[in-house]
Amino acid sequence: MRRDIDGFTEETFDVCVVGGGITGAGVALDAARRGLRVALIERGDFGSGTSTASSKLIHGGLRYLEQGQFGLVAEALHERALLLRHARHLVQPLPFVVPFYDDQRVAPWQWRLGLTVYDILAGRDNIARSRPLSTRQVDAATGPMRSGLRGGVLYYDAWMDDARLCLAVVRTGVQYGAVAASYVEATGFENAGGTISSVYAVDRLTDRRFVIRARVVVNAAGAGADAVRVLAGEPSEPLLNPTKGVHLIAPDQGHRAASLLLHPGDGRVFFVIPWFGKTLIGTTDSFPDAGPNALRVAASEVTYLLDGYNHYFDRPLQTEQIIGTFAGLRPLLRFRPGEPSSVSREFRLHVGPTGMITALGGKYTTFRQMAETITDQVTSYVGKSRRCRTASLPLIGSPATPWPEFLQAKSAQIVARHPIAIDSVMHLVQRYGTEVDKVLERISRAPRGFDRLHAEEPDLVGEQAWQRDEEMAIFPDDFLLRRTRIGMWRPGLRCASATTQSRSA
Ligand SMILES: Cc1cc2nc3c(=O)[nH]c(=O)nc-3n(C[C@H](O)[C@H](O)[C@H](O)COP(=O)(O)OP(=O)(O)OC[C@H]3O[C@@H](n4cnc5c(N)ncnc54)[C@H](O)[C@@H]3O)c2cc1C
């Protein structure tokens, strides 16, 4: 995937998408797959906004059952099934345990009922039916829990690599003809007869300013969508009410399943998630005191999450054991003022007076379906009625065979041909899926390509050559936080490939 800035100025696009998080990436892919001419610009790295700060779950959203939003849950469960099929290397089933205690605001019978409904709503798309667990089985899945445990229940959702899933969507869109670039920012819009006809853009790597002509603009700027609306001359009254969510990263605490827990302080749901050999704990939910570029994790947020964790697990975690944190903004609709957790997660389209289509709200899991709705609107504007074709479209790297078979066969093949330790082999297959052979070929040509980036991590130095050439990684954070995830828990690591750019844009 090449960064071709001239490509933005050589034609009039059907649609220019502003924002390369999962929403914008999804629209770019859907529109390109329908045969539209698509430009996609992202002011930072792809996915560098909220789309890499998620809880890494592809889920139906059990909590919405409490609010009676069955349609929303059924839709998300269907999208979960599509992602498990079409992004096999990046989205995989994950067991979840809900432990039962007497002092909780949700009674065991309510959990059992809710999960039965969850199973029914998933229908043929279900991963596996939920089932009751004895106290011993809960402990075996999560590690020893505090006394008073009354058993629990097991159900399934999925985990994902959010940054690479976003990237896979961008790259698949580019395969279908989209012109996409990171570090290109929309700075303004030109109106012709009251309708936006062009996007003023700046290449943040060179400061070159240029104009992208487009019939329709989609504002997919996430929590920054209101700011982009203001750039387009729309009223400054905000449509979003973003809330901030924080996660902690701890070394592996031995959890074989994720845990869905109710915080002892306020009764909110939070998760403990095994993820790439680490344990994630999150999330908080509060109104932010800064914009997307200045999010900080407060000591009180670390304490809140550790209090939650230590309330449940016998092996307590201390602040000093936390090896990383991350924070993101939920682009929630300004809908119901009051408690952050009651703000609606629903998705809405807003069409402004200049014809710009703004995506509001939503969640990662349902990005394809949101993109379908947005692109339907785009096609009706540009007068090209073409139906959505992403529901049956595998993303780049996703194997046609079921994941366990692919992983086993491909790993055996690599072990036979390359001098690589088994943990690195598994990691390469997981990260690159069907592209792994091409990646290995690139690694073998890179200086010290088969060396590890860090002695205790499976990532290889030569991967960075592939990430630079094929995945548009430019700055150290692009390589270390999003193409790989190693920088999330090893912040001091240096990046071999980002030598051409020394600062973070
Ligand atoms: C803590 C947390 C946990 C979550 N967990 C989950 C989960 O487990 N599962 C799930 O399904 N959902 C989850 N979500 C929700 C999900 O992550 C978000 O809904 C989704 O990532 C939003 O994607 P987006 O593309 O709309 O926004 P973003 O990812 O923020 O993308 C918007 C992009 O627009 C760019 N941009 C802004 N202005 C401009 C401009 N002028 N020019 C060019 N580009 C611009 C930004 O740089 C940004 O990259 C979670 C959210 C949070 C905050």
Instruction: List, for residues 10-30, the tens digit of each pLDDT value.
Output: 999 999 999 999 999 999 999
* Least confident range of 76-90, 395-409, 482-496: 482-496
Torsion of CA 194, 183, 478, 430, to 10 degrees: 50
With a cut of 50, say whether residue 503 has pLDDT above it.
Answer: no
* Mean pLDDT, rounded, for 236-261: 95
Calculate the CA 321 to chain-centre distance.
Answer: 25
CB distance 61 to ligand 1 below 6 Å: no
Atom number, ligand 1, closest to the C-alpha of residue 285: 1
Task: Supply the pTM of this predicted model.
Answer: 0.95
How does the average pLDDT of the chain come out, rounded? 93
Tell me which residue of 177, 220, 181, 166 sits closest to 395, measured CA to CA.
166
| pLDDT for the residue 495 | 74
φ, ψ (nearest 5 deg) of residue 127: -75, -50
Gap between the terminal Cα atoms of the chain: 20
Q: What percent of the chain has pLDDT over 90?
A: 86
- pLDDT-derived band at 496 (thresholds 50, 70, 90) equals low
CB distance 22 to ligand 1 below 6 Å: yes
Query: CATH for 6-50+163-240+343-382, among 3.30.70.60, 3.90.1170.50, 3.10.180.10, 3.50.50.60?
Result: 3.50.50.60
CB distance 42 to ligand 1 below 6 Å: yes
Burial class (CB in 10 A: 0-12, 13-18, 19+), 71: exposed
With a cut of 80, say whether residue 165 has pLDDT above it.
Answer: yes
* Mean pLDDT, rounded, for 74-79: 96
Pocket test for ligand 1, best of 43, 54, 271 (most atoms within 8 A of CB): 54
Contact 242, 329 (CB under 8 A): yes
CB distance 369 to ligand 1 below 6 Å: no
**Higher local confidence (pLDDT), 139 or 339:** 139
| pLDDT for the residue 4 | 93
Q: Following DSSP, what letter does each residue of 172-218 receive, concatenated?
A: HHHHTT-EEESSEEEEEEEEETTEEEEEEEEETTTTEEEEEEEEEEE
* Mean pLDDT, rounded, for 144-170: 97
| pLDDT for the residue 292 | 67
| pLDDT for the residue 6 | 96
> Which tens digit of pLDDT belongs to each residue from 308-348?
999 999 999 999 999 999 999 998 888 655 545 544 457 89
Count of beta carbons in the 10 Å neighbourhood of residue 448: 11
Contact 100, 108 (CB under 8 A): yes
Q: How many CA atoms lie within 13 A of 361 on its CB side?
A: 15
- Ligand 1 centroid from CA 287, angstroms: 16
| pLDDT for the residue 502 | 37
| pLDDT for the residue 198 | 96
Pocket test for ligand 1, best of 46, 55, 203 (most atoms within 8 A of CB): 55
With a cut of 70, say whether residue 501 has pLDDT above it.
Answer: no
| pLDDT for the residue 331 | 87
- Ligand 1 centroid from CA 219, angstroms: 12
Contact 279, 252 (CB under 8 A): yes
Residue 435 makes CB contacts below 8 A (sequence gap 6+) with 396, 397
CA distance 373 to 486: 35
* Mean pLDDT, rounded, for 238-263: 95
Report DSSP state, residue 395: P
- pLDDT-derived band at 473 (thresholds 50, 70, 90) equals very high
Residue with tokens 């992403």: 390
CA distance 501 to 295: 24
CB distance 49 to ligand 1 below 6 Å: yes
Q: How many CA atoms lie within 13 A of 495 on its CB side?
A: 29
* Mean pLDDT, rounded, for 370-394: 95
With a cut of 50, say whether residue 272 has pLDDT above it.
Answer: yes
Query: Ligand 1: which residue has its CA nearest to atom 2?
Result: 54
Count of beta carbons in the 10 Å neighbourhood of residue 109: 9
| pLDDT for the residue 343 | 46
Q: In DSSP terms, which residues pair with 219 in a beta bridge?
A: 18, 358
Superfamily of domain 243-330: D-Amino Acid Oxidase, subunit A, domain 2 (3.30.9.10)
Torsion of CA 56, 57, 63, 69, to 10 degrees: 120
Atom number, ligand 1, closest to the C-alpha of residue 231: 41
| pLDDT for the residue 504 | 39
> Which tens digit of pLDDT belongs to each residue from 142-154?
999 999 999 999 9
Q: Which residue ranges make up each domain of the chain?
A: 6-50+163-240+343-382, 243-330, 403-495
CB neighbour burial string for 324-342, b if at least 16 within 10 angstroms, e if fewer: bbbbbbbbbbbbeeeebee
| pLDDT for the residue 499 | 44
CA distance 137 to 152: 8
Pocket test for ligand 1, best of 269, 364, 369 (most atoms within 8 A of CB): 364
| pLDDT for the residue 66 | 84
Pocket test for ligand 1, best of 51, 96, 159, 248 (most atoms within 8 A of CB): 51
With a cut of 50, say whether residue 53 has pLDDT above it.
Answer: yes
Write out the E strands in 57-183: 57-58, 91-99, 131-133, 152-160, 179-181
* Amino acid at site 249: I
